[in-house]
C-alpha cells in the first residue's frame, strides 16, 4: 500500500506540483479493507497524509 501511495503522490506532484493533492482529494484503499468493511467505511488513505484514514465521502470522520 505504501508503494502505491508513494506512486500516486509522485504522479500528483509531477502533474501539478502546487497544492493539487490538498485541493483535489486523492485517496487509496487496500482491496482487503474494502472487502472486509465497506467502500464507504473510513478505510481510505489520503495521498498527502497516508497515516490518516477517512471515508471516501469526506464527511470529516478520520481515524488514525
Per-residue pLDDT tens digits for 31-47: 999 999 989 999 998 88
pTM: 0.62
Question: What digits encode the pLDDT tens for the residues 5-31?
Answer: 777 777 766 666 666 656 777 788 989
Mapped onto helix, strand or coil, the DSSP state of residue 27 is strand
Residue 50 lies in a domain: yes
Residue 11 lies in a domain: yes
Number of domains forming the structure of the chain: 1
State how far the Cα of 13 lies from the Cα of 61, in Å rounded to an integer: 26
Residue 49 lies in a domain: yes
Residue 64 lies in a domain: no
State how far the Cα of 22 lies from the Cα of 34, in Å rounded to an integer: 23
Q: What residues make up the domain containing 9?
A: 2-59
Amino acid at each position: 500500500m505504501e508503494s502505491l501511495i508513494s506512486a500516486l503522490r509522485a504522479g500528483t506532484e509531477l502533474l501539478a506540483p502546487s497544492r493539487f493533492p490538498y485541493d483535489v482529494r486523492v485517496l487509496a484503499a487496500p482491496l482487503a479493507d474494502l472487502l472486509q468493511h465497506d467502500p464507504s467505511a473510513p478505510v481510505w488513505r489520503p495521498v498527502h497524509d497516508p497515516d490518516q484514514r477517512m471515508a471516501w465521502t469526506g464527511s470529516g470522520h478520520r481515524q488514525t
